[in-house]
Amino acid sequence: MNLPAWLRFVELSMLAAWLAWRFYRPWLAGRRQALVPLLAALLAMAQLLLEAQAATDPFTGLLQVLPVVAASPYGGLSVAVFVLGVAAAACMWRLRKPEELARVSAAVLLVCSGAATAGAADAVSAAASTGEIAMSPTLAVPRSATTTPNPYANDPASAQRGAQVYQQYCVTCHGLNGDGNGPAVAGLRIKPPSFRNPQHFLAPGMDGAHYWVIQHGDGVPGGMPAWQGTLTDQQIWDALNYVKQLAAR
């Protein structure tokens, strides 16, 4: 269970216990219980931020993902819990006998929080596949590509096979050592990128994006061609795993 899920469990348990207590001991109420809806509001906002953070990638920051998550039904309910929780806490703190308001607040917040919990996973999944990732100033990749797993990530022989693919198809542009200075560079309009960049090519969760680039090319005249149809899926993955070895060096 991840941290947002734990926070949801704490929030729902707290609100359910508060609602049960309001019906079991309705006369035992005081202004101090205003801390319960306030804490629920803070927990809802913390979950929203953590879920949005989970949908980021090395090329897309939290500020870009947060509006997408906040615009989802899950995000809307989380914001509603935050606003209602703060408002309920403020009102209960001012009232001398907030018993009725406490029962209503507990019920509303519990329902909204439960509904938000049901949509959290879908909101994160949608945010993780929405829009594009700017791989370079001239190359954008669909964010959905990052969900493609690398089937040969744990295959030591993959990079060895990829070295042969690289030598045959890639070395003329990208260079023997992956520095982007192959023998054909002088006649290219766009200089190939260097593969000797671990932050770019070894970034967690980005194998699918790099795989997409090899498949489709950069779509720019005189740029990298699309290798889909020329190379098999396994050859593309093998070549990528070899490129990651070059980056690691």
Residue range 73-124, pLDDT digits in tens: 999 999 999 999 999 999 988 887 777 888 899 999 999 999 998 888 888 8
Q: Calculate mean pLDDT across residues 208-232.
A: 89
Place of tokens 């509006």: 67
Last residue within a domain, chosen from 70, 103, 130: 130
Task: Kindly state whether residues 51 and 151 are assigned to the same domain.
Answer: no
Q: Residue 1's pLDDT is what?
A: 66
pLDDT value for 164 = 95
Residue 29 has a pLDDT of 60
Together in a domain, 85 and 181: no
Give me the mean pLDDT over the 134-163 stretch: 88
**Res 100: pLDDT:** 80
Q: Do 150 and 190 sit in the same domain of this protein?
A: yes
137 and 229 inside one domain = yes
- CATH code of the domain containing 172: 1.10.760.10
Same domain as 105, residue 72: yes
Q: Does residue 65 register a pLDDT over 90?
A: no
Question: What is the percentage of the chain residues whose pLDDT exceeds 70?
Answer: 98
Number of domains the chain contains: 2
Final residue of a structural domain among 113, 130, 147: 130
Return the structure tokens found at 214.
């090899």
Question: Which of residues 85, 108, 130 is at a domain's end?
Answer: 130
- Considering the domain architecture, whether residues 221 and 238 belong to the same structural domain is answered as yes
Residue 84 is predicted with a pLDDT of 95
The Cα–Cα gap between 71 and 55 comes to 14
Residue 139 and residue 225 in one domain? yes
User: Quick check: 240 pLDDT over 90?
Assistant: yes
Q: Based on the domain organization, do 14 and 96 belong to the same domain?
A: yes
In this structure, which amino acid lies at residue 165? Answer: V
pLDDT tier at 126, thresholds 50, 70, 90: confident
- 83, 142, 215, 243 from 133: Cα distances, Å: 32, 6, 16, 20
| Whole-number Å distance between alpha carbons of 122 and 143 | 15
Same domain, yes or no: 196 and 124: no
26: confidence class by pLDDT, cuts 50, 70, 90: low
Residues 192 and 107 in one domain: no
Question: pTM for this one?
Answer: 0.69
Q: Which of 23-32, 84-93, 210-219 has the lowest mean pLDDT?
A: 23-32
Range of the domain at 46: 3-130
Write the pLDDT tens digit of every residue in 160-179. 999 999 999 999 989 888 88
Residue 181 has pLDDT above 90, yes or no: no
Say which range, 4-18, 103-117, 176-190, has the weakest mean pLDDT.
176-190
Q: Is the pLDDT of residue 58 over 80?
A: no
Q: Is the distance from CB of 58 to CB of 204 less than 8 angstroms? A: yes
Other beta carbons within 10 Å of 184: 12
Same domain, 98 and 114: yes
Q: Do 208 and 135 form a contact (C-beta atoms < 8 A)? A: no
Q: Say yes or no: 19 and 37 in one domain.
A: yes
pLDDT over 80 at 243, yes or no? yes
